[in-house]
């Protein structure tokens, strides 16, 4: 930090330059709109979180709900990976109270609920699973797999979670002797 609480320019530039480039504006324009690194990080965080949550509509427009949910999990993983690069700045934003964990969880839960509702209506996702439990499980998976090589394990864990969320396929009814589908086999 520099005198007066200003951040060293090289540290702020790690966030600002890519943000300016991605926005198609110059670094000066960016600094005029966001006087501190934290203000920029907060704006980026809010925009990217909103984009992630809004992406459920696009996914549901192209995929069945169970596949949309699994694709959304991958997008969520990409989002978290990108945020790890800004971890220090995000901690400052959260510490200042500009963004709260509960606020983010509410938005993520609403996005998952949208997919769950579509899956319940389509008969592909269970109706006894809560969206907030899915979000908490995914967040826990990120924590558990943050070590090197964790991406492959995260993919497997996402698949296990999906197996738990999908509505089981309907099995043929058992006859009175416990044999499944015997009447269909005989004829």
| pLDDT tens for each residue of 103-137 | 889 999 999 999 999 999 999 999 999 999 999 99
Asked if residue 183 is part of any domain, the answer here is no
Same structural domain, 91 and 147: yes
Q: Is the separation of the CB atoms in 75 and 55 below 8 Å?
A: yes
**Straight-line distance from the first to the last Cα atom of the chain, in angstroms, rounded to the nearest whole number:** 81
| Whether residue 162 sits in one domain with residue 96 | yes
pLDDT in tens, 37-66: 777 778 888 888 999 999 999 999 999 999
Do 30 and 102 lie in one domain? The reply is no
Number of domains in the chain: 2
pTM of the model: 0.74
For residues 90 and 107, membership in a common domain is answered with yes
**Which domain, by its residues, includes 41?**
37-168
Burial of 131 (0-12, 13-18, 19+ CB in 10 A): middle
Instruction: Look at residue 99 in the predicted model and tell me its pLDDT.
Output: 75
In a domain, 174, yes or no: no
Q: Is the dihedral of CA 103, 104, 107, 108 positive or negative?
A: negative
pLDDT of residue 168: 85
Identify the pLDDT of residue 170: 66
Q: Is residue 55 part of a domain?
A: yes
Q: What is the CATH number of the domain that holds 144?
A: 1.10.357.10
Same domain, 41 and 123: yes
């Amino acid at each position: 930090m520099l005198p007066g609480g200003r951040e060293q320019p090289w540290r702020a530039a790690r966030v600002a330059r890519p943000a300016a480039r991605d926005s198609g504006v110059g670094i000066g324009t960016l600094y005029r709109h966001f006087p501190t690194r934290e203000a920029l990080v907060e704006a980026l965080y809010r925009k990217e979180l909103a984009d992630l949550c809004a992406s459920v509509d696009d996914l549901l427009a192209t995929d069945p709900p169970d596949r949309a949910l699994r694709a959304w999990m991958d997008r969520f993983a990409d989002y978290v990976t990108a945020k790890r690069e800004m971890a220090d700045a995000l901690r400052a934003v959260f510490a200042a109270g500009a963004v709260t964990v509960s606020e983010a969880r509410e938005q993520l839960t609403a996005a998952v609920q949208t997919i769950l509702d579509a899956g319940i209506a389509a008969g592909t996702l269970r109706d006894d699973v809560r969206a907030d439990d899915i979000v908490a499980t995914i967040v826990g998976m990120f924590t558990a797999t943050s070590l090197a090589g964790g991406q492959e394990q995260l993919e497997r864990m996402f698949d296990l979670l999906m197996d738990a969320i999908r509505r089981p396929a309907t099995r043929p009814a058992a006859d009175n002797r416990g044999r499944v589908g015997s009447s269909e086999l005989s004829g």
